[in-house]
Structure 1
């Protein structure tokens, strides 16, 4: 891969977009079920896991000349074991991109295209994803930079648009669910924050300018994404309360539908949703880009990742079609299975890589 040049602000915003887009649809529902009015605290324990992943990646990338984490795996573990590890990561990325594609497709079908078959919507989104990914990662982060600033404005103005619906009493009494409820609600977000690895896996190719004394852009992105997601959760709780939030399939959409400025401006949810959807598409593009990079690192012959962009399209389409029977299965998998699968995949892998790198550095110094 050619050397990339991406600014620290672009890296921060792509990470923040990744988190806010992932938490914006249905994950908040199960967190409210467990933590009730304390659900807005549930992002912070999961944020610590995102920090842990980022610190591991920063350590692994220090002094490395490889362009991606997948190449570093082959260097540290050897061609055979490294290729096997990358095959498992390829399966992980396939699940991630198919889950996001199916979730966005079901969401679009629910709010816009009622009579359109889900596979048709999936194909359209996937075709757009392939087009954007072929343009390269620099184009992706630039497009995200524009759209996420618009999304940021939407997030910040949403509490003002809902002032007539706010009931601050919905946040009281605090800490009634206790730490067990907060931790159970936070478990749903571990899968999302674990996907920080997907962005981090390709940050080896990034060459942001060094900023001595400042927080790493990956960490800044996690903090910004957590702040916005927590603010959205607070807005949801004070607007519709825990009872409606726990029952709605898409609680945040229900909040948007409550915006009524005048008698003739009562469908702003459509406008604000179409602003939010590009962030979801950017998330899918980044996962798909990482999937292409992972695939091209398998085997002995190194190929350009662009060669796999179109080749992987039928495989992703089939995975998206047959992985989940319906939206209920998808939401259950995303909230209960995906976090556990993420922990089982990531923690042993990162621990193994860090030990390998430490031993390699020790042998070189000796």
Structure 2
């Protein structure tokens, strides 16, 4: 079905923007509503979900190295329950790919291309991603390897240019109300960290399988540090007004002014968003197409790429009617849904798989005796 191979570094490059791209724009303000001045602590607690998710995915792959998540689920909990969970997982990924596409288009139209129909933005992105997905995991890995430096560079430039506007007093008081506010603020970004379960679709194609766990864990750490830095950046510039901003990183970028000449660098945030969204949508799209083919027991996933693309666009239009509902979904529905489907249920599957493996070994030992 997929004969391509990627390195563990390419997997890391695929997963890093997949998590960070959408998180750096809206999550700082969402986190600040709960954690206030301690919003920089929330990514540390949220990252624990990421570390756990990577561990679960890697261990499941170790137990069933040559099988997909849809195949080994049927072995763990039975054929019919496995098919039901596989369908729910596919629905989750296809729907959320549509919502990511919608959020991308809403941001682009709302902030820059105001008179451009949102359908044009969405269709052009999904068309580009479809060609990448049809190219296979190697093409996706190389694309991510090419675009990640373009993704990181504008963020570094933003940090350097905003240093004169920093007010370090905004960090105080630290832990005024204890640890609970930053822990509550970690629940929503925890939904983003649960997306690391996507490596279950990439691990079978690693050329250096032994580095899979290390690569995944290092990516979680890199994402955590990026979110901490972005939260500090927003906090030091916007202070107590952070919770009231929809896209605080965009607001922060408007503070940059060097000699009344170098201004209006919102385009840097736009570049980060477009590149990151492209990689993120492509990875979700690939998982949806590959998963659909595996669930249907097809020999190749490429014939379903275009139909899945149409479904993604349909979900992007029909799932949520307006921007307010998109934002409400990001804060109320997706985090809990994501943690349930990508961390809690896989953890239960891993526990059942380990117990069954031990029972099988115990039975074989008793037969030998």
Aligned pairs for 1:213-228 (under 5 A) are 216-228=214-226
2:114 is paired with a residue of what secondary structure?
A: coil
Is 2:264 aligned against 1:273? Answer: no
Aligned to 1:357: 353
Aligned-pair CA distance for 1:63: 4.5
2:306 is paired with a residue of what secondary structure?
A: coil
Aligned-pair CA distance for 1:225: 1.0
Aligned-pair CA distance for 1:287: 0.6
Distance between the aligned counterparts of 1:191 and 1:110, measured in 2? 25
Is 2:165 aligned against 1:165? Answer: yes
Aligned-pair CA distance for 1:333: 0.9
Aligned pairs for 1:177-188 (under 5 A) are 177-188=177-188
2:2 is paired with a residue of what secondary structure?
A: coil
Q: Does the Cα contact within 8 Å between 2:90 and 2:288 map onto a contact in 1? A: yes
Query: What TM-score, normalized by structure 1, do the two folds share?
Result: 0.93
Q: Does the Cα contact within 8 Å between 1:5 and 1:208 map onto a contact in 2? A: no
User: In structure 1, which of residues 325, 328, 335 is the aligned counterpart of residue 331 of structure 2?
Assistant: 335
Question: Which structure 2 residue ranges, 5 or more long, are not aligned?
Answer: 365-369
Is 2:17 aligned against 1:17? Answer: yes
Is 2:236 aligned against 1:235? Answer: no
Distance between the aligned counterparts of 2:67 and 2:129, measured in 1? 22
1:263 is paired with a residue of what secondary structure?
A: coil
CA deviations on 1:239-264 (whole Å, 9 max, x unpaired) are 12121x21111111111122212323
Aligned to 1:253: 250
CA deviations on 1:193-236 (whole Å, 9 max, x unpaired) are 1111123333233232535xx96101110100110111011011
C-alpha change, 1:127 and 1:47, in structure 2 (3 Å) is same
Q: Does the Cα contact within 8 Å between 1:83 and 1:297 map onto a contact in 2? A: no
1:303 is paired with a residue of what secondary structure?
A: coil
2:115 is paired with a residue of what secondary structure?
A: coil
Q: Does the Cα contact within 8 Å between 2:28 and 2:248 map onto a contact in 1? A: yes
Distance between the aligned counterparts of 2:271 and 2:215, measured in 1? 27
Aligned to 1:129: 129
Aligned pairs for 1:70-89 (under 5 A) are 70-89=70-89
Distance between the aligned counterparts of 2:16 and 2:231, measured in 1? 16
Count of residues in Structure 1 that have an aligned counterpart in Structure 2: 362
Q: Does the Cα contact within 8 Å between 1:171 and 1:237 map onto a contact in 2? A: yes
Distance between the aligned counterparts of 2:67 and 2:253, measured in 1? 41
Aligned to 2:307: 311
Aligned-pair CA distance for 1:347: 4.5
Distance between the aligned counterparts of 1:221 and 1:150, measured in 2? 17
Coordinate RMSD, CA, aligned: 2.0
CA deviations on 1:338-357 (whole Å, 9 max, x unpaired) are 11222333455223422342
Aligned to 2:7: 7
Runs of 4+ in 1 over 4 A off after TM superposition: none
Distance between the aligned counterparts of 2:340 and 2:113, measured in 1? 37
Distance between the aligned counterparts of 2:356 and 2:207, measured in 1? 24
Aligned-pair CA distance for 1:303: 3.2
Aligned to 1:283: 280
Distance between the aligned counterparts of 2:254 and 2:215, measured in 1? 34
Query: What TM-score, normalized by structure 2, do the two folds share?
Result: 0.92
Q: Does the Cα contact within 8 Å between 1:67 and 1:202 map onto a contact in 2? A: no
Distance between the aligned counterparts of 1:144 and 1:344, measured in 2? 27
Question: Which structure 1 residue ranges, 5 or more long, are not aligned?
Answer: none
Aligned-pair CA distance for 1:363: 4.6
Aligned-pair CA distance for 1:67: 5.0
Distance between the aligned counterparts of 2:226 and 2:4, measured in 1? 28
Q: Does the Cα contact within 8 Å between 2:49 and 2:194 map onto a contact in 1? A: yes
CA deviations on 1:42-63 (whole Å, 9 max, x unpaired) are 1111100111111111111115
